[in-house]
């Protein structure tokens, strides 16, 4: 396991329903501020913004955004992750792609669909919680609304970094800022949350507040606001020391999820 992991959160002002423009935007942000990153985390639905127009905008599983991620990750020797709209057969997914430099990618489909915006009427829910590797670090991905459901993200001592990609509107940003450190404390892991900025095509305002917390819920990175990359280095030694000093997960309840 690499002692340090350099993580960057791409807090971007997404172009409404414009995949090609948003891919160019992510490339530009990485060109300007992404030097030295091991892991770049992009927002939820980073090619379109939060929309239910899946019939028009969803890509095939082997589509242009997957190719773009593979090329960028391989060229820059960086792991890139974020979600976008994908179609498989008759089903649509809000799907996160985990793309390492090798191109041997993995997927996580959003488990908790935001029914208050009708997401459940268009998309199929994911059924599998996954953990991916990056330089020996174990990384568990979640998508936006998943943040409100702590059982789904509960650590089985199987990850070091829990991260959320989101389009989380300004109206509920106080809950975002409270729940992220709570997930860090209860799971004794680093927690990162990347959120977009700007105004989407439905008129919803997003202020970002992308954040990274250590396993005690303490903030690790300064967010200057606006379109930026929020970045920090995670320490494996500090995480192990905190877990050794206070091994709270040894006393955690056992449970089984029914899907």
- Chain-centroid distance of CA 131 in Å reads 12
In the set 59, 110, 134, 227, the catalytic residue is 110
In the set 119, 140, 144, 227, the catalytic residue is 144
- Chain-centroid distance of CA 76 in Å reads 20
Q: Is 134 considered catalytic here? A: no
191 close to 160: Cβ distance less than 8 angstroms: no
Q: Is 44 considered catalytic here? A: yes
Backbone angle region of 250, left / alpha / beta, with phi > 0 → left and psi within -120 to 50 → alpha: alpha
User: Rounded to whole angstroms, how far apart are CA atoms 135 and 39?
Assistant: 10
Query: Sign of torsion, CA 80 98 135 243?
Result: positive
Q: Is 218 considered catalytic here? A: no
In the set 44, 59, 119, 227, the catalytic residue is 44
| Catalytic residue numbers, as ranges | 44, 110, 144
């Amino acid at each position: 396991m690499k002692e340090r992991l350099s993580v960057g959160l791409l807090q971007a002002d997404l172009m409404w329903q414009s995949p090609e423009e948003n891919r160019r935007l992510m490339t530009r942000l990485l060109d300007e501020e992404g030097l030295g990153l091991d892991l770049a985390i992009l927002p939820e639905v980073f090619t379109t913004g939060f929309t239910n127009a899946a019939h028009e905008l969803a890509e095939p599983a082997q589509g242009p955004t997957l190719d773009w991620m593979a090329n960028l990750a391989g060229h820059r020797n960086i792991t890139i992750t974020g979600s976008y709209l994908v179609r498989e057969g008759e089903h649509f997914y809000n799907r996160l792609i985990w793309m390492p430099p090798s191109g041997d990618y993995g997927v996580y489909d959003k488990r908790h669909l935001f029914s208050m915006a009708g997401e459940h009427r268009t998309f199929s829910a994911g059924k599998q919680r996954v953990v991916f590797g990056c330089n020996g670090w174990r990384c568990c991905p979640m998508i936006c609304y998943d943040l409100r459901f702590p059982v789904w993200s509960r650590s089985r001592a199987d990850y070091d970094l829990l991260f959320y990609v989101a389009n989380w509107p300004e109206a509920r940003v106080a809950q975002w800022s409270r729940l992220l450190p709570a997930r860090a404390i209860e799971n004794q892991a680093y927690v990162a949350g990347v959120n977009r900025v700007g105004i989407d095509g439905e008129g919803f305002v997003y202020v970002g507040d992308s954040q990274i917390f250590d396993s005690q819920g303490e903030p690790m990175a300064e967010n200057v606001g606006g379109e930026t990359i929020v970045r920090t280095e995670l320490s494996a030694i500090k995480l192990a020391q905190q877990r050794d000093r206070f091994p709270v997960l040894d006393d955690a309840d056992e449970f089984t999820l029914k899907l």
